[in-house]
Each structure stands twice: as C-alpha cells, then as structure tokens.
Amino acid sequence: MVDRSDEGDARVADCRVRAATDVLGHRWDGVVLAALGAGPHRRVELRAVIGQIRDKPLTESLARLMASNLIARRRDRTPPVVVYELTALGQTFHDGPLRALASWAEEHGEGLLDGATCE
C-alpha cells in the first residue's frame, strides 16, 4: 500500500499546478506574457515584438491568457485602440516562474537547442 500522506505527491495532480503548467504548455503563451512584461502593447506591437507569430496563434494565445486572468484587454477611446496588458496575477507569473524559466534557459538553453529547431 502506498502512503499518500506526503504533501508533495498530492500537489503533483493538483488542479492549480496543472493550470499553472498549462500556461507554458502552449507554444506562444509564455512568449506573449514575456512581451507584455515590458508594458502594455497593442496587437500590432505584440506581433512586431514577438516576431514569427501568425495572427491566429496570437488570437488564441490572447484568448487563453485572458481566460486565465493573466492579461487584460483595455479599449482606449482616444485614440481608439485596444491594448493588452498583464493583470496583477499575470505580473506575478511574469516575475516569478517565467523569470526563473528565462534564467534557466539563459544558462542551459544551448543544451536544449542541440538538434532542435525554433520555428
């Protein structure tokens, strides 16, 4: 019989842990969050900052991140533009796990890229 009293084992299947890792499970979500870490951006600015993202994946990523309460969509009336920005929750994700992942990638990224392609 397996002892399930270990708190660490219980967290592995926790819905909150899955929700947090899902953010990084989608190809562009982490990249969009990183781009918005520099401040609010209009959609066209996001595409320019990110680079190779197409319109449909950007739309899907923005919708997922808004549904997760990590970003907000704000409509400014003068001039009439739509701006995307990190929410308070999104800022904590950016400053915590995303920044830690970026630091790790900076140090170990070459090992990940051996034989891989970034499309």
Mean pLDDT per 10-residue segment, the chain (119 residues): 51 77 89 95 94 94 96 90 96 95 87 69
pLDDT of residue 7: 54
What is the pTM assigned to this prediction?
0.79
pLDDT of residue 108: 85
pLDDT of residue 82: 94
Show the domains of the chain with their CATH numbers. Answer: 43-106 (1.10.10.10)
pLDDT of residue 78: 80
pLDDT of residue 119: 60
E strand intervals along 43-104:
71-76, 81-86
Alpha-carbon torsion angle 84, 21, 28, 118, nearest 10: 150
